[in-house]
Structure formats: structure tokens, C-alpha cells
Structure 1
Amino acid sequence: MSNAGTTLNKSMPVSSKPKERTKAKKRYLKAKKERRKNRKTLTKSDTGGESGKRGPTATKALGSSGEGEDEENSASGSDAPDSDDATIAKPKEYQEEQRPRKRRKLDEADPPESELDVHAAEDDLRLDDEEVTVQASLLRPRSPTPVVALPSFPLPKRPDAPSKATLALQGLDKALIEAEIVDPSGLLAFDTTPDSDGGTGLSERTRRRLRDLGISELFAVQTAVIPFLLPPSRLRSLYLPYDPPQDLCVSAPTGSGKTLAYVLPITEALTSRIVTRLRALVVLPTRDLVNQVRETFEAVAKGRGLKIGTATGQHSFAHEQAQLVAERSRHVQGGSSKVDILISTPGRLIDHLNGTQNFSLQHLRYLVIDEADRLLAQSFQDWLAQVLSATKPPQRSEDLLETSTAYTSLLPTSNLSSSSVPHPDALAPAFLHLLDNVLCIRTDVDERKEPSCQKLLFSATLTRDPSKIAALDLHNPKYFVVQSQTDRVISKEEGVLNLVMEKFSMPSTLSEHMIVCDTSEKPLMLFYLVHARAVTNALIFTKSAESTARLVRLFEFFESAMSPSAEQSGAQIVAKAYSSDLSPGERKMILEKFKNQEIHILVCSDLISRGIDISHVSHVVSYDAPVDIRKYVHRVGRTARAGRSGDAWTLVEEQEARHFKTMLKGADHLDKVKRLRVSEKDVAALRPTYESALIQLKEAYARSTS
């Protein structure tokens, strides 16, 4: 026993005296004390411990320091998270405070003094320092991470802008989008045999008359429009109260024969009329166009007995009234017209509607609006609304109908003698309900009668404004668009898009040029064209009547100084002004002299830029560049008409060149206009005469102002 006890006592270490701590142990204990101090400070500054929560995986990874903390925390029931926070771990500081006291005492136990234990203590110190650094980074303020991630949505982006074509077609009439595209190169020849009309729909009499006028074939726009306006005989009636005809809109290049396209079918349809009534109304923007269209009607309708009248304001109002209506002494409900066809300007037409008794549009069969884009763009005393209202019958009040029905039901049949039945007073079918007689009874089986007026719109630049087209109140309209197809066939959508986006078609026989020069050199460039390029039989367009008069005076001074002997012999080039400053008689006389080639150059404003047809015009000069593509189209359209060749020249100032080119480029027409470069050598011979003419013009204006 004593030996065993002695052996046991020898094997046990004797701790009578604690050993002195090493330097490593002191550093370890000092660092540990600092760590505890830091932990207490962080725990006090934490409000509720929310910012330190982490998942169980993070707690396990960050809390493991080789001392069995995971096992103790998992075994402690007080430290287990609730069910709601099952996925969120407690922060490290919270775990440190909840450690068992036994563990804390073990941390304070004396460390081993062996060399291996010293290295282990140093490693433990290093791991604890890393643990403190990680915990400090976790406790920094940050936004809480959501438990369940929201579904990711694509970032918003701006949609692609619609194309110009899509924007251009918005708001347009469906009938315009479905327009019929006509090739301008198509011609239709016809003969005078009675058996066949050649597909034109024209009678033998009309075809013979066209032959007498030198017309043996129809142009493209005429071959499309005339058969449409001359349907089978059952639809050629002058009154269609139960089946109103389709309206018509035509866009065709200048000089393509639009005037004859409506003159022929109107003349053909009105030949069957017996009683004279106002059945065709043609509205034009200028007096000159009115006179020109009247000449065309008179030439085609010769020998048919149709009465054609005009209203332009050229004559007195009383004179025009006497020419238009038969009776003004008493009121005639159906009107008393003296003419079958009236050609008028819009302003004078409104004067007669409001101031001429018995002037009525209720019998109107055709309403033609030529140069429609210009007429629809200008109000002219709101002429369109008044004309459309005059073609429609006013609605009769229901009270008046009920009173008439009740009164006639009380009348005995024997009292209805033939003398008590009034005459219809030449009312149109749609206006019969306006009779001031109780015998005019409407029943439930009566069909509503509609006006028979058919609207026909013609223009080289048909309006694309939906509001203007809607104001016409068109009935099931039909559109014809004449587009050039020189290199390829144009589809229906492309043809309509070209019309809407103002890409107009030009005659194929037209040559276009432009000269870019200084403002002071423009008159010299004009004289160069006249004398070096033989530009005669020409129309020269200026921007105003004042510019027209000034340019003509300069031209006269230049020609006098250029060849004094030519003036005496009569070989001098003659230029005259044609503008609104002249009286109607003077304008008519000058236009006649120009047609007879007694005048070589006509300097004019845009007064005759639309519709005027002068066959021998071979050149058009825009002395002042047009400001928009529509004006350019109508100016150059005065030449190269009806298949003839022609040249168009535009003098462009340097500051206007960019705008002019942009305008042509927007219409896809810039490559068709060739630039002509004029050097100083080309005009050297003309410059002295030009400077002399300028001096004379200056002296003439100085005398007139003084």
C-alpha cells in the first residue's frame, strides 16, 4: 500500500507553488482582456441586436475558433433561435454574453508552459484577432437583406419611334389609303365608229367632236375618271334620291388633262336634260382659270344647247344676276336658273347665294372643286360650308309634320279638287317636303330622299389634311392617284404614301435646272438665260406684283441698251407684266397677245401659276425661288404639258440655296434638278449693258419718287 501510494504521489504533479507566466502568455491574456472590453462596448452600442443577425451557416463559419463553441451553443436551449427566426443567426456578441460560466472559467485557466502550448496560444491569439475583425465588419450598418428575393423585371426602355410612313398615314381616310394608282404613260385611242366607244364610255357624237378638236386619244387620268363618271345608263339620271353616287378625288400632275377629265362626262350627262336648271357648278380660285374652263366647256358642248355661265366679279353684280336667274320678282322655291353649268370663283358664288333671289343649288348634280388644295386651304367667307349646306334640304320639324297630318285627316275627300293641288314648283326630289301645303304628307313607308350632288375634287397637289377632307362630307369617295412609274411599278401603298408625304410626280418631258448666284446678280443671270440660252416664249415668276413691275422696267432698259437698232426694226424681245395690279380687261388683252406670241416673255406673279394652259410656253423661270414644294410643282407645270417638252429654271440666291435643296430633298426630287454654273466669262459681254440698265432704272425711280 505504501509503495503504491508513493508511486501514485510521484506520478502526480506537485503544485505547491504557481509557476511564473511567460511573455507569450502575458500578451495573450492582455489581448484577451482587450477583446472582452471591445465586445462589451459593441454589445451596449447595438440597439436590439437586429443589425448583427446572420444565418446559421454564417454563425457556424464565423463563430468556430477551435474551442467547441458550436457544440455548446447547439446544446444550450436558451440560445436556440425562435421558429420565426430560424433562418437568422444571433450575432457573435450575443453568443459571447450567453456562454456558460464554466467555459469562461476555462478561458481563465493557466495556460500550459510547454513550447507546444505556447505556439498553440499564439495561434489562438491570431484566430481571435481575425474573428474580432470579421465581427466588426458584420456589425457595420447596412440595409437588411430580404428573406425571399423579388422576381426580377426588365428595365424600362423607350419604345422605337414609329416610321415616317406610319405617322403620315395616321388619321387619313380609309378610301385614300385604298386609292387606285394610275400610270401616267397610259393612253387610250378611240375611233368615231358607232359600234364601239373604245372603252371610253363616250357617245359617238362626243368622240366626233373630239376629233374635230384634234383629240384622238385620252390621257391616263381621263381613261380612269371618265368611265367612273359615266356608269351604265341607269346611273346617268340627273336625280338619284335613293342611290347617291360616289364622290371622286383625283391627284394628277399638272398638264395631265384634269380639266377635260370632268368636262367630258358632265357634258355627256347633261345632254339629256330637258328643263334648264343649275346642275353643274365648277369652283376655281382665279378669274383666269374660270375663263379658261369656260372655253373648254363651250368647245366640247358646242351644238348641244347647254347654257354655260360665269360669276367672277368681272361684271357688275346686277349684270351677273340677270345672266343667272330668270325671275327675281317673286320667290320660286325650286329656283329659276338660266344656266345649266356655272363656273365661278368662291367669293362671287357666296355673294349670289346670299344676295340673289331664286338662285338655288338644290338641283345640283355635279360640284367640281378644281385646284382643291388651294380652295380648301383658304376660307373665302367660309364658302365650302355654305355651298354644302345649300345642296342639302333643311330638315322639317316633327311638329310641322304632325300638324299637317292631323289637319289633312280631317279634310273630306270631296274637297280635294284638282285646283287645290299645288304645282311642285320645280323642287328637287329631296326638297319636296318643303312644300307649304298640307297635302304633302309623309308616311312611315316613305324612304328618305338624299341629294343627288356628286363632289369631284381635282388637284396636282391634293390636300393631305384629314380635317380638310372631312369637311367635304364625302360620300363613299373614290381616289385616283397618278404617279410616275418610270423605273419600276409603284405599289398602292407607296403611291398613296408619296401623295401624303408630298412627293409629287412631274411630267417626264420636263427638264429642270437651278442657278445659284448672289442677289445682285439675279437680273444678270436672267438676261444670260434670255440671250445665251434662248429662253423665250417663257413665263417668269416673281414673288410680288411690285417685283414684277420693277423687273419689266429693268428688262426694257436692258433691251434698249443692248440693241438700239432692234427696237426700231421690231426685232426686240418684248416682255410684259401680268399681275393683280392690272384690271381684268388689261390682263385678258396681255394674255391674248402672249398666246399669239406678240409678247415673248410674260413676267408674272403666282396669279397664273395654277391651271393656266398656254400651249407654246417652252420655258418657266422662277426669278424668285418658291418657298414650298407645292408652289414649285404648279410653277414648273406651266410647261411640258400634254406630252410636250419644256425647261424649268430656278434662280436661287446663295442664302436660299440650303432651304431650296432641303425642300427638293424632302420630296425626293433633288437629283432631278441639275445645277447650272455660270462663270464670269459667260456674262462678261452682258455686264456693261446690265450696269447701264441699272443706272437708268435708278434714275427712273428717283424721278417717280420726287
Structure 2
Amino acid sequence: MPSLETASALQSSKEKTKAKQRYLKRKKERRKHRPKLPGVNDDKLQENGTEHDAMDVEPVAKEVSNPPSPEKPKRPKKRPRHEGQEETEDVEMELDVLQADAPLPTRMSPTPDLVNALPSFPLPALPDAPSKSLLALQGLDQALLGAELVSPSTVLPIPTGKDDEGTRLSEKMRKRLRDIGVVELFAVQTALLPFLLPSQGASELYLPFNPPRDVCVSAPTGSGKTLAYVLPIIETLSSRTITRLRALIVLPTRDLVTQVRETIEVLSRGTKLKVGTATGQSSFAQEQSQLIQDQSTILLGGSSKVDILICTPGRLIDHIVGTPNFSLQHLRFLVIDEADRLLAQSFQDWLAHVLAATRPHYKPAQKEDNEYPNASQPLNTLLPDGLAPSFLHQLPQPHFPSFFLEHKASSCQKLLFSATLTRDPGKISALELRNPKYFIVQGSEKDTVGGEVLDVVMEKFSMPSTLKEHMIISDPTQKPLIFFHLVHTLNVTNALVFTKSAESTTRLVQLFDFFEKERTHGNGLSPLSVRAYSSDLPVNERKAILENFKSQKIHILVCSDLISRGIDISHVSHVVSYDVPVDMRKYVHRVGRTARAGREGDAWTLVEQQEARFFKQMLKEADHLEKVKRLRLGEKDLAPLLPHYEAALNKLKDLYTRQQN
């Protein structure tokens, strides 16, 4: 008879066997309801033992997908059994089986069929940035791509016989040019004169049914742009019978207005053409009396005492708005010189006013019959002043046949001149150009179509071939001394010196005067004459200074950018940028004051150390850095002038100290 311990053990063993049977039964039920996967043997999954079950499933998964086997999760280590832990062991077995019963996709890699079924998408990538050439063409007038390129070396001798030999100039004009010393035409003139002047006979003043094409010219400074538009204007208008305002020349500065007027007056002698200016130097009433014949009666055709008006934009707007009978309807030429500067500045929206005044108003004026008491009279009696053909629609319609009043185009031809062609398409489009023709004077060794045009559009500027360019990088405290070294050691005289402001101009001139007194004291040397030229000076004084500089009574003229545009002084052999120009356009116009009309010249730029990076980058972007040679100066070069400079600097400090006190 078994003992009590043996009976207890047998009872416990039976209970354990029943628990295991219940567990295996539940496991079998789960196997039946689980979805089948290809390549998995259900018989193997039904064998006893969770450890054996997991080992059987794993090789099947490897055969299906053949991926690298994932690391198996670590199982908790089995602890030795003790009494009272049967329930715990059963729970662990349940957890083990539940892990084995988890859906296969979470334990295995996808099959090859599933992988191939997924679409393949390329990785996202940024597109290539557009080239600078492509960006330069965005919004650009397509006519610019068809521009006529003219070599700067092109010249055409002025013939002496009756045959004009392609110049299209009259014999009288050719003789006048030779009398003032002009014996050949430059590149811009040889290209423009045949385009603006007819091949035979005088040009018509009005072209209502065949309006002329507008012209845009980009050429280096000193290339003869003034003569390029003055000659066609004089030749065309010299055939006029009645005085009308037929040529309007808009310029950015008063000094340039004076210079262009002098040129026109010299070339138009004997033609009876009348030239006027409007710059604000005289009173408004005085200018009105010089420009308008009759201000008491309103005339539809306007009234004018001048054939050619040269003006600044601000004063022009004053006359358009406030001067009775000031009319632009008869304009044959509208010249905008230094266009990049004028278009960049609004001047009371001057361009819109000018274009509106030249544009025919197609809507007839609404007038009652009783407002025209003499409507039955002939046209010349009704309108003694006369209307331009494109403005005849303003007449009372019942009294004239329809063909007489049909709409006609304006005969005004716009001539745009600039040394730096603007890159802003909006500014060009604001001019409302009519089928424009572009002329670009620029030397190039390229043969690719459109390549030279892109150089101009992207502002790779053209300089005169006779110009030599230099830069000197120095400490700011030594810049005046380096300037004195240029003047006295390298003989930089007959020079224009540009500063950043009127104050800088005054200070440099005072320092130079003190330096010359120290240098010439007691040794019998004559001091150099230097004068300041700025907008702070009265007009008459500025004019006298320019005359003395032209006659070489003044050796050096120190100025701001006031005269960096257009002023032509033939003997200027050096240009010194004492202060670095703020942009490439200003640099181009500064250095363009020398090496003009085929003469040689030097340009010097004094660059402070903190400005060197900016200045070089500016030149590099314009593809011009290699053409500006760097000059290095050491202490030995500056030593001979140092005592005079220090003495002059002390005097300048004393002067400013006394002024402040």
C-alpha cells in the first residue's frame, strides 16, 4: 500500500498531465483556425513542444524568402522547477505558444512575389539651375537679340567731293565738319547715319503712314554718341519752313545741356534752325518767353520759337504742365541721352508725361458747333498755327471729309543712347518703342550667334581700347599721400579726380593746397593749380571753372560724379577715382572721361583695404578684373613726400579745429 507521499505525488502527476492535455488541445484548435501560408507544413506546427515548433517554422521562412535571418528574440531562461510553480510554468508555455502563433508576416520578410509587385519610384532630385545667359533673356526685348554689332575700330573718312561715299551727309555739312577738325566718323556714327538719313534728298518731317523705327544705341563713353544724333537732326530739320518744336533732347545734367547746345550751334550755322534750352537756370517766365511765340491765345497746334529744345527732365515737365501752347505734337526726334540714369529716376514721372504729349489722342474733342464760329473758313484761316497730321482728329468732324480725319501714327522717332544698356525690361518697355533697332558698339572675338549681345545684356562693359586701368590698395591714412605721389612722381596732371561727396571734394582740395605750399616753400617751384567742382557752387562759377580747366589754367579738377556723364574735355589724360565708385556703371562713366575719340588715357582707382574685396568682386562680375592692373607702392616710394604731407595734414587739422570753435 503506497505511502501518503507516494499518493500525493501520483495525484499531482495526474493533475499535471490533465493540464498539459488541456493546453495541447487549445493549441490544436488554434492551429486549425490559423490561415495557411505557402511553403509552411502544418504537420510540423502540430508537434509537441514550443521550442521544437519555433525551430521548424524558421527554416521554412528561409526557403520562402531567403533574406538574412533576423535575430531571434531571446527567451527567458528556464528556472528549475519547484513545488507550487506548475501554474507559472504553464503560463510561460502559453506565452511561448502565443509568440509562435503570431502571424508570419510579422516574423518573416516578404516573399519575392510581393517585393516585385510593389512599384519602384525614383528618389526626388532638385532640377538644374538655369544658366546666367538664360536668365538674362527673361523678359528681354527680342529685338535686342537681333542687334547690329559694330566694331569700335570702324571709321569712315569724311569725303571731300560731291559724293557722300555712304555717309549720307550733305556737302555743306561735310565741309562744316572738316572746318571744326572732324575728318572721320567713328563707329557709332558710321552705323547710325545711314539708318537715320535717307539715301537721296531731304528727309520728310512728317511720316504719318510710314512711321520711322525707334533706335537704341549702346556704345562706350567717348565714342561720339552726341554727333551720332546731332548730325541727323540738323540734316533732317534744315529743310523746315515754319518753326515748330521738332527735336527734343533730354539730358540728366545742366552741364551736359550746355555742352550739347554748343555742339548743335556750331554745326547748325547757316541753317536758320533755332535752338533753346530749359534747365531752370533762368526764371520760369523768362524761359516761357524764349520758347513760346504766343501765350495769349490757346492754339490747337501749339506755338514755338525753337526747332530744337535741349532740357533736363524736371524743367521739361514744368513746361508741359504750366506753359500755354507748349506742344510736343510736331516732334520728329525724341532723344534720351544717358538713358540708364534718366530711366532710373522718376523726375515727377517725366517719361509718362512726355509720351502722352507725343501720342495722338484718337478720341475726337467733343465741341459744339457754336464753339467754332469760323468753321466754314479754310483750314489755314481756322488754324493759323497748324496741327500735326496725327492730331487732325481734334478738328470738328462735320466740316472735313473722313479721309482727312483718319487716324495717323505719330512721326516722333525715339533715339535712346547709353554707355550701359539697362537690364531691366520694364524700363525699356515703358518707352513704348516702335519696332526698335538696336546698335551695339563692342569689340569681341567671339563667333557664336548672340554671344556678343548676351555680353552686353549681362553688363560686360566695353571700354576704349586706348584706356589703361590701374588700382592701388592701401591703408586709408595713406590715401592722400598716394594721390600726391601719383601727381608728382607719375605726373598725373590734366586730371579729373572723383570723390564720393561735395564735402570730400572740399577737404581734399584744401589738403592739396596746403601740401603745394609746403612743397614749393623756399625752392622757387610753382604750385599746381587744383580746384573743386561740385553742385554746391553757383552755375556761373562752375562754368568759369570748366573753362579754365579746358584752357589748362587749372591742372587738376576735383569733383563728385556730377560731371562723370557726357562732359567732353579733350585734354583730360588721367582720371583718378579717389573714392571707389559704388557700382560698375559709375566706374564706366568715370573712366570714360579720358581716352576719348581715339586718344590715350589712364584711369587710377585708390582702394582702401576694407574696400578691396568689394571692388574686385564688382570688376569680376563685369568680367573686367584682369584689365585693371594693380600697382604696389612701398614706404620708400612715399618717403620723399612724407614731410610735406605731415605738415599739410597738421594745417588742415588746425583749420577744422578753428572752424568748429
With the shorter chain as reference, the TM-score category is 0.7 to 0.9
Contact 2:533 2:560 in 1 (8 A): yes
Matched, 1:258 2:217: no
Aligned to 2:194, the other structure's residue is in SS state: helix
TM-superposed CA distance for 1:130, in Å, is 3.2
1:294-305 superposed matches below 5 A: 294-305=261-272
Which whole-Å deviations, capped at 9, do the CAs of 1:607-657 have from their partners, x for residues lacking one? Answer: 000111000000000000011110000000000000000000000000000
Closer, same or farther: CA 38–173 of 1 in aligned 2, 3 Å: farther
Q: Distance in 2 between matches of 1:328 and 1:295?
A: 28
Larger radius of gyration: 1
Matched, 1:495 2:478: no
Contact 1:178 1:492 in 2 (8 A): no
Residue 131 of structure 1 is matched in structure 2 by 56
**AA matched with 2:486:** L
Q: Distance in 1 between matches of 2:29 and 2:384?
A: 111
Matched, 1:588 2:546: no
Q: Distance in 1 between matches of 2:218 and 2:397?
A: 47
Closer, same or farther: CA 210–432 of 1 in aligned 2, 3 Å: same
Closer, same or farther: CA 329–126 of 1 in aligned 2, 3 Å: closer
Matched, 1:141 2:122: no
Closer, same or farther: CA 211–397 of 1 in aligned 2, 3 Å: closer
Give TM-score scaled by structure 1 length: 0.80
Contact 2:362 2:407 in 1 (8 A): no
Which whole-Å deviations, capped at 9, do the CAs of 1:518-550 have from their partners, x for residues lacking one? Answer: 111110110010011100000000000010011
Contact 2:376 2:399 in 1 (8 A): no
Q: Distance in 1 between matches of 2:575 and 2:402?
A: 61
Residue 82 of structure 2 is matched in structure 1 by none
Residue 14 of structure 1 is matched in structure 2 by none
Residue 172 of structure 1 is matched in structure 2 by 140
Q: Distance in 2 between matches of 1:643 and 1:293?
A: 20
Contact 1:222 1:257 in 2 (8 A): yes
Q: Distance in 1 between matches of 2:586 and 2:284?
A: 32
1:271 corresponds to which of 231, 238, 245: 238
Residue 394 of structure 2 is matched in structure 1 by 434
Closer, same or farther: CA 37–235 of 1 in aligned 2, 3 Å: farther
Residue 103 of structure 1 is matched in structure 2 by none
**AA matched with 1:168:** A
Closer, same or farther: CA 373–38 of 1 in aligned 2, 3 Å: farther
TM-superposed CA distance for 1:418, in Å, is 5.6
Residue 633 of structure 2 is matched in structure 1 by 678
Residue 216 of structure 1 is matched in structure 2 by 183
Contact 1:230 1:269 in 2 (8 A): yes
Q: Distance in 2 between matches of 1:310 and 1:416?
A: 39
Percent of counterpart pairs with the same letter?
61
**AA matched with 1:474:** L
Q: Distance in 2 between matches of 1:126 and 1:330?
A: 119
Matched, 1:317 2:317: no
TM-superposed CA distance for 1:132, in Å, is 4.3
Matched, 1:354 2:321: yes
**AA matched with 2:460:** K
Q: Distance in 2 between matches of 1:448 and 1:231?
A: 25
Q: Distance in 2 between matches of 1:416 and 1:574?
A: 71
Which whole-Å deviations, capped at 9, do the CAs of 1:12-46 have from their partners, x for residues lacking one? Answer: xxxxxxxxxxxxxxxxxx99x98995794596599
Contact 2:397 2:405 in 1 (8 A): no
TM-superposed CA distance for 1:151, in Å, is 3.9
TM-superposed CA distance for 1:322, in Å, is 1.2
Closer, same or farther: CA 346–446 of 1 in aligned 2, 3 Å: closer
Closer, same or farther: CA 427–576 of 1 in aligned 2, 3 Å: same
Deviates more, 1:234-243 or 1:556-565: 234-243
What 5-or-longer segments of structure 2 have no aligned partner? 1-15, 61-99
Matched, 1:668 2:633: no
**AA matched with 2:521:** P
Q: What value does the CA root-mean-square deviation take over the aligned residues?
A: 3.0
**AA matched with 2:468:** S
1:374 corresponds to which of 329, 337, 341: 341
TM-superposed CA distance for 1:424, in Å, is 5.9
Matched, 1:539 2:504: no
TM-superposed CA distance for 1:458, in Å, is 0.3
Q: Distance in 2 between matches of 1:581 and 1:204?
A: 45
Closer, same or farther: CA 35–484 of 1 in aligned 2, 3 Å: farther
Contact 1:251 1:462 in 2 (8 A): yes
Alignment size in residue pairs: 600
Closer, same or farther: CA 489–218 of 1 in aligned 2, 3 Å: farther
Contact 2:380 2:386 in 1 (8 A): no
TM-superposed CA distance for 1:497, in Å, is 1.1
Aligned to 1:686, the other structure's residue is in SS state: helix
Deviates more, 1:422-431 or 1:515-524: 422-431
TM-superposed CA distance for 1:462, in Å, is 1.6
Which whole-Å deviations, capped at 9, do the CAs of 1:218-275 have from their partners, x for residues lacking one? Answer: 1111111111111345892100111111000000001111110001111110111110
Residue 73 of structure 1 is matched in structure 2 by none
Give TM-score scaled by structure 2 length: 0.85
Residue 385 of structure 2 is matched in structure 1 by 425
Which whole-Å deviations, capped at 9, do the CAs of 1:339-384 have from their partners, x for residues lacking one? Answer: 1101000011111111111111000000000000000000001100
Q: Distance in 1 between matches of 2:134 and 2:401?
A: 52
Q: Distance in 2 between matches of 1:279 and 1:556?
A: 49
TM-superposed CA distance for 1:394, in Å, is 2.4
Residue 18 of structure 1 is matched in structure 2 by none
Q: Distance in 1 between matches of 2:233 and 2:24?
A: 108
Q: Distance in 2 between matches of 1:243 and 1:201?
A: 20
**AA matched with 2:344:** A
**AA matched with 1:480:** F
**AA matched with 1:625:** V
Residue 294 of structure 2 is matched in structure 1 by 327
Closer, same or farther: CA 45–393 of 1 in aligned 2, 3 Å: farther
Closer, same or farther: CA 418–273 of 1 in aligned 2, 3 Å: closer
2:556 corresponds to which of 591, 598, 601: 601
Residue 273 of structure 2 is matched in structure 1 by 306
Aligned to 2:336, the other structure's residue is in SS state: strand
Which whole-Å deviations, capped at 9, do the CAs of 1:259-318 have from their partners, x for residues lacking one? Answer: 100011111101111100000000000011001111111111111111111111111111
TM-superposed CA distance for 1:338, in Å, is 0.6
Aligned to 2:509, the other structure's residue is in SS state: helix
**AA matched with 2:421:** L
Residue 238 of structure 1 is matched in structure 2 by 205
Q: Distance in 1 between matches of 2:159 and 2:36?
A: 103
**AA matched with 2:208:** P
TM-superposed CA distance for 1:480, in Å, is 0.8
Residue 478 of structure 2 is matched in structure 1 by 521
Residue 641 of structure 1 is matched in structure 2 by 596
What 5-or-longer segments of structure 1 have no aligned partner? 1-29, 66-91, 97-106, 109-123, 409-414
Residue 80 of structure 1 is matched in structure 2 by none
Closer, same or farther: CA 36–429 of 1 in aligned 2, 3 Å: farther
Closer, same or farther: CA 344–150 of 1 in aligned 2, 3 Å: same
Closer, same or farther: CA 416–158 of 1 in aligned 2, 3 Å: same
TM-superposed CA distance for 1:185, in Å, is 0.8
Closer, same or farther: CA 36–63 of 1 in aligned 2, 3 Å: farther
Which whole-Å deviations, capped at 9, do the CAs of 1:396-453 have from their partners, x for residues lacking one? Answer: 259x49x88xx99xxxxxx95769973363110111111257414546x964201110
Residue 10 of structure 1 is matched in structure 2 by none
Contact 1:242 1:448 in 2 (8 A): no
Residue 432 of structure 2 is matched in structure 1 by 473
Contact 1:579 1:604 in 2 (8 A): yes
Matched, 1:189 2:189: no
Contact 1:424 1:435 in 2 (8 A): no
Contact 1:294 1:343 in 2 (8 A): yes
Closer, same or farther: CA 605–42 of 1 in aligned 2, 3 Å: farther
Contact 2:217 2:417 in 1 (8 A): yes
Q: Distance in 2 between matches of 1:39 and 1:656?
A: 91
**AA matched with 2:157:** A
Matched, 1:552 2:501: no
TM-superposed CA distance for 1:395, in Å, is 3.2
Contact 1:35 1:132 in 2 (8 A): no
Q: Distance in 1 between matches of 2:345 and 2:548?
A: 32
Which whole-Å deviations, capped at 9, do the CAs of 1:1-21 have from their partners, x for residues lacking one? Answer: xxxxxxxxxxxxxxxxxxxxx
Residue 159 of structure 1 is matched in structure 2 by 127
Aligned to 1:201, the other structure's residue is in SS state: coil
Contact 1:613 1:638 in 2 (8 A): yes
